Structure 1
């Protein structure tokens, strides 16, 4: 089950995650910048210190200083700056000409490679810069059996990290980059969370509302992909409103189509149903019969037993009709105690036989109301399409059926009067 958070907590968590992401990105960039900057500044610092030492040694050597005097000069330089250590490593040619000294080790040769200055970090308090000294034209006046460009020696300058001088411009640039990365990554993380948990669900809600305005399927329900309780509350409210709209629409549809008492079609559906059945009869080239029915003595039932009894008689009679008609037949309450029955694919003689059988049922099965026996007798008028009306005057069938129903009613009144 997905966790549910409030919008406040979600925003806090989003800001927290964005700060972690931005800090991680910023930290990575800072490490890269520091590495590049420190390496560059470390080289510059070592080169600066190495040039100072080389100039001192060059002046001493130009003055004819001996090996011991050069070593003494190095000792004085080391004492001048205790945190800096200077050492000279001599090539084989120098040692052969002027005597033993510190020779170039395999490790130093490996670090300087092709005679390029190199740096090596032992620890934060011991950074080595190896400055390569090569023979130049002026060196050949004193040194023998060597050529210009050959390595004469290496000055090893060892100094702590706090001696490195980082320019203010690099510091400001680093701070600017860190600030920019923090803002960008925070914006990206926050906007991603808002897009996933708020904007996308709200856009989906907007689309559903527009679909509802366009009378789309009210059975469809909204599912918002969010773990915010406010968004889920909107989802619940929307679906509840959809349910209410669906029920209300269904009720309106039922009222607009069916008679609420008898559950048969109401008079508003007569034109539609009559047109459909007429066109079907024309298309299938088969007859369609219209029957007009009117209950006999219905006013007397209302006057003697009340309108409740009249309503129950109408319901009972409609039930008898529906139980004895086909599923394709249509029963329409025309008004009061009058009904119209549309009988597709049914000729007039079959319709007459059908209603005679229904009349026998109503005569043999009276309706009992509060101890009273009530008979639901009725009169029927039948007209057939296309026998009694052509296509252009199809609706005249209803008038014809109504006239014939009135004739049947008068006939039954006279028969009852004689008895």
Structure 2
């Protein structure tokens, strides 16, 4: 049966009507009460006063010796004063005995029950529409002089007063007090009705609603729904819309949970979730005392596929590889994609000997499963690295590093092979972990510092700029970048170090007011792709009092640029639009150096120091430097020679026409 609901508009209307009816009921009851009180109290008072006045009038006449006819005339005159009021006086038998009886008095004494009661000394008040008050006249001491046959306390007679209820006169005080009492009762009643109605139909559902929302928040349970006990349509609508909102939130929550745990392309677990499973498997292995294996997989020559067929085809290949690997694993095995073309597998309760069989199955299946791309079919292979717990590592970092090193060993062995982490790999992994821990502490403790080496104008011999270099303070000594940068890159800490050095270097440039000095920063391509350095450098430029919007140069290495030329070109263009310069570092160290002059819009070319340091004694190096300088300048680039360590080298560079130079001849790296 469909439950019917009301609205707050109807509720308010019902409450007003109910309150009105209740107030009318109270007014009716209170009116009856006032009327009864008037009859009981006010009528008695008025009637007693009237009776007393009639008695006093009669008594005064009797004192003067008036006859009974004259006394009757007084009663007639009293009745004429108030036409709606009738006054009668009845003699008691005592008075009748002494002064004579009257027929209507006798009839009243014998046949009127009220008069009979009053003759016995009882004061009587009766009537609804007409008030009748019978007042017995009691014999007092002063009455004995005339009424010699009576004694004190006897009844000499009864005065009978009758008048309509409508003639009752209520005092102003009584009316005001009655109104105040009625208003108070009415107000209390209205507020009581409103309180209980609103409390039951509004406040309680809202409290229930708040309580349910708090439970959902505290328990983080997106599956719970709000259920409110209410008859109000608006409250029911709140319940409905909140539940719909919770449905949407739950849907988004589950999608976000999926995205946070899964790789968007393959649907496999990502690195973060893989490490969670690995942590759980270590605990389970310790508890049940069994071994398990961790497998790292890196596809061979995958870059060739992307370069030849495009990235869309590369995505198709990754999905196909996922299907091949997944179909050859057990349900309990955990497969994850942890990088571009890198996969990882946990083989629970599987020591190396059994794990090797599984890995060989994966390798063979991948090798013998051609993948269709456009009109071609390609055969794909991979290099596999295996680490066993706990032999090759007793924690997550050791296992991942060990299996990673084993995978690189398989690459070096010719690819499409399986390698196992051995003792040497363990020692290497331990060393990497040790250095990694050292780097983490250095970063957390703020011991990463920028050092600068000056760059001079070769022709004018004036300071042109500084190259900002990363250093780590270790006690009294300082570690150069060459001692930690490779480990930092392998452990993903290079970006953090780049950020710290850039931030501190720019701050020092501001503090020292070196606005006319060019600052060169070494940033890895990973940092450029993953860091928002444009806003950081723009903010630095904004602090320049001359607002020249230049003075920062980013150095990029050829060996890093080769991995994503197109993406790097886009980043360079975006940063150059904000006044940020670029330099090609270690130029000449690779085979593609001159090609980059065509694609990268860099302001400076830094000639590799390996060619510079021996130009005074090695003719081939001199020729290299000469031609690098000539080609760079023909492309409109300024050249900077590194490793300038003596005057003779500087003189040769002047002859060649190199623009700038840096090296120990001009100064060692030092704090700013």
When normalised by structure 2's length, the TM-score is 0.53
Shift of 1:43: 0.7
Q: In structure 2, which of residues 143, 150, 153 is the aligned counterpart of residue 149 of structure 1?
A: 153
Q: What are the Cα deviations for residues 235-283 of structure 1, in whole angstroms up to 9, with x where unaligned?
A: 4443343333322222222211111122221112343332222122112
**Higher RCO (Cα < 8 Å, 6 or more apart):** 1
Following the alignment from structure 2 to structure 1, what is the Cα–Cα distance between the partners of residues 116 and 302?
122
Q: What are the Cα deviations for residues 290-316 of structure 1, in whole angstroms up to 9, with x where unaligned?
A: 111223454444445443343233223
Following the alignment from structure 1 to structure 2, what is the Cα–Cα distance between the partners of residues 264 and 318?
8
Following the alignment from structure 1 to structure 2, what is the Cα–Cα distance between the partners of residues 113 and 317?
125
Partner of 2:127, secondary structure, is strand
Distance 1:69 1:313, change over 3 A: same
Which residue of structure 2 lines up, in the alignment, with residue 81 of structure 1?
Answer: 82
Following the alignment from structure 1 to structure 2, what is the Cα–Cα distance between the partners of residues 131 and 173?
29
Which residue of structure 2 lines up, in the alignment, with residue 107 of structure 1?
Answer: 113
Question: Do the aligned residues in 2 keep the contact of 1:50 with 1:157 (CA within 8 Å)?
Answer: yes
Following the alignment from structure 2 to structure 1, what is the Cα–Cα distance between the partners of residues 314 and 265?
11
Distance 1:331 1:115, change over 3 A: farther
Following the alignment from structure 2 to structure 1, what is the Cα–Cα distance between the partners of residues 369 and 269?
25
Q: In structure 2, which of residues 118, 136, 139 is the aligned counterpart of residue 135 of structure 1?
A: 139
Q: In structure 2, which of residues 109, 113, 124 is the aligned counterpart of residue 118 of structure 1?
A: 124
Question: Do the aligned residues in 2 keep the contact of 1:30 with 1:174 (CA within 8 Å)?
Answer: no
Question: Do the aligned residues in 2 keep the contact of 1:368 with 1:374 (CA within 8 Å)?
Answer: yes
Q: Is 1:281 the equivalent of 2:285? A: yes
Following the alignment from structure 2 to structure 1, what is the Cα–Cα distance between the partners of residues 260 and 116?
98
Distance 1:156 1:41, change over 3 A: same
Shift of 1:83: 1.6
Question: Do the aligned residues in 1 keep the contact of 2:114 with 2:124 (CA within 8 Å)?
Answer: no
Following the alignment from structure 1 to structure 2, what is the Cα–Cα distance between the partners of residues 369 and 107?
126
Which residue of structure 2 lines up, in the alignment, with residue 401 of structure 1?
Answer: 403
Shift of 1:372: 4.9
Following the alignment from structure 1 to structure 2, what is the Cα–Cα distance between the partners of residues 111 and 283?
107
After TM superposition, list the pairs within 5 Å mapping 1:340-359 onto structure 2. 340-359=344-363
Q: Is 1:44 the equivalent of 2:45? A: yes
Which residue of structure 1 lines up, in the alignment, with residue 246 of structure 2?
Answer: 242
Q: In structure 2, which of residues 7, 16, 33 is the aligned counterpart of residue 5 of structure 1?
A: 7
Question: Do the aligned residues in 2 keep the contact of 1:104 with 1:153 (CA within 8 Å)?
Answer: no
Q: What are the Cα deviations for residues 169-212 of structure 1, in whole angstroms up to 9, with x where unaligned?
A: 11122222333333333333334444444444455555566667
Distance 1:326 1:62, change over 3 A: farther
Partner of 1:350, secondary structure, is helix
- Unaligned ranges ≥5, structure 1: none
* RMSD, aligned CA: 3.6
Shift of 1:409: 4.8
Partner of 1:271, secondary structure, is helix
Shift of 1:103: 0.5
Following the alignment from structure 2 to structure 1, what is the Cα–Cα distance between the partners of residues 50 and 127?
16
- Unaligned ranges ≥5, structure 2: 418-672
Which residue of structure 1 lines up, in the alignment, with residue 455 of structure 2?
Answer: none
Q: Is 1:33 the equivalent of 2:39? A: no
Question: Do the aligned residues in 2 keep the contact of 1:133 with 1:155 (CA within 8 Å)?
Answer: yes
After TM superposition, list the pairs within 5 Å mapping 1:161-240 onto structure 2. 161-203=165-207, 216-224=220-228, 230-240=234-244
Aligned residues: 410
Following the alignment from structure 2 to structure 1, what is the Cα–Cα distance between the partners of residues 21 and 15?
10
Following the alignment from structure 1 to structure 2, what is the Cα–Cα distance between the partners of residues 383 and 113?
126
Q: In structure 1, which of residues 266, 270, 279 is the aligned counterpart of residue 270 of structure 2?
A: 266
Question: Do the aligned residues in 2 keep the contact of 1:295 with 1:379 (CA within 8 Å)?
Answer: yes
Q: What are the Cα deviations for residues 359-414 of structure 1, in whole angstroms up to 9, with x where unaligned?
A: 4544565555556545554332221111223x3x5532223323333444565658
Higher mean C-alpha displacement, 106-115 vs 158-167? 106-115
Following the alignment from structure 1 to structure 2, what is the Cα–Cα distance between the partners of residues 203 and 20?
30
Q: Is 1:254 the equivalent of 2:258? A: yes
When normalised by structure 1's length, the TM-score is 0.81
Structure with the bigger percentage of helix: 1
Following the alignment from structure 1 to structure 2, what is the Cα–Cα distance between the partners of residues 394 and 214?
32
Partner of 1:54, secondary structure, is helix
Distance 1:261 1:169, change over 3 A: same
Shift of 1:109: 6.4
Distance 1:287 1:76, change over 3 A: same
Question: Do the aligned residues in 1 keep the contact of 2:382 with 2:415 (CA within 8 Å)?
Answer: no
Following the alignment from structure 1 to structure 2, what is the Cα–Cα distance between the partners of residues 312 and 109?
121
Q: What are the Cα deviations for residues 310-357 of structure 1, in whole angstroms up to 9, with x where unaligned?
A: 323322333344444344432221212221111222211121222333
Question: Do the aligned residues in 1 keep the contact of 2:275 with 2:396 (CA within 8 Å)?
Answer: no
Partner of 1:153, secondary structure, is strand
Shift of 1:157: 0.6
Shift of 1:286: 1.2
Distance 1:60 1:414, change over 3 A: closer
Question: Do the aligned residues in 2 keep the contact of 1:132 with 1:155 (CA within 8 Å)?
Answer: yes
Partner of 1:395, secondary structure, is helix
Partner of 1:316, secondary structure, is helix
Q: What are the Cα deviations for residues 130-175 of structure 1, in whole angstroms up to 9, with x where unaligned?
A: 1122233344455566543234432221112233221111112222
Following the alignment from structure 1 to structure 2, what is the Cα–Cα distance between the partners of residues 271 and 113?
113
